[in-house]
Amino acid sequence: MDIVRSFYESLYRSSQQKNSSDADDDTSNVENNNALPFLESEIRQALQKMKSGTSPGYDGITAQALSTGAESLAPILTRLVNNCLDHASIPEGFADTKTILLYKKGDATDIKNYRPISPLNTTYKVFAKVIGNSIKSILDAAETAEQAGFRQSFSTIDHIHAVNELIEKTTKYTVASESIATHGSVLRDCL
């Protein structure tokens, strides 16, 4: 167990040192006054869209259990999520997890041949999902229509088509203007 602990402590310590400048950002002045409370319908939708068959987290609650009880659990979880936002904190143990090592292949005595997984509590997954959905909708609303890449219901194909049309029209008008400059009139077959 000490081998596992020291391996992962050294692994995570090196990545934390690289990102230490990110941790220096002062967010103490960030206020949450303009955040709207979540609706039961948002929580219910998150509960119903959870993947069944996934392993439960430290809390032992399965996604299927939450999805099945979505109607009765939605009001309770809505109060919990909104309370977390109001107080800018989550309940103790809410985001706790246990790291489980899954053997991949190779020498079973080499720690590098194991893949660590840390299943999150299922209720925390619901919390994270509704927060993520909220952030996504805010960011999508802030994007301009010109930003089509990596957005739902948008496609870069539309922009490619528009650029192709511009190239085609530019080429057509360039040929026409060159014809006027050279011949003094537009050649009909160029248009």
Task: With cut-offs at 50, 70 and 90, classify the pLDDT of residue 27.
Answer: very low
Q: How far apart are CA 165 and CA 167, in angstroms?
A: 5
| Contact residues for 116 (Cβ-Cβ < 8 A; gap 6+) | 8, 99, 100, 101, 102
Paired tokens of 123 = 């209720």
* pTM, 2 dp: 0.65
> Which is more confidently placed, 186 or 42?
42
* pLDDT for the residue numbered 75: 95
What is the pLDDT, as a whole number, of residue 184? 60
Domains of the chain, residue spans: 35-142, 156-190
**CB of 153 within 8 A of CB of 90?**
no
Helices (runs of H) and strands (runs of E) counted in the chain: 7, 2
Task: Give the model confidence (pLDDT) of 75-97 as tens digits.
Answer: 999 999 999 999 999 998 888 88
Find where tokens 């090592």 sit.
Answer: 101
Q: In this predicted model, what pLDDT tens digit does every residue of 111-168 receive, in sequence order?
A: 889 999 888 899 999 999 999 999 988 888 888 877 777 777 777 887 888 888 888 8
Separation between Cα atoms, residue 26 and residue 28, nearest integer Å: 6
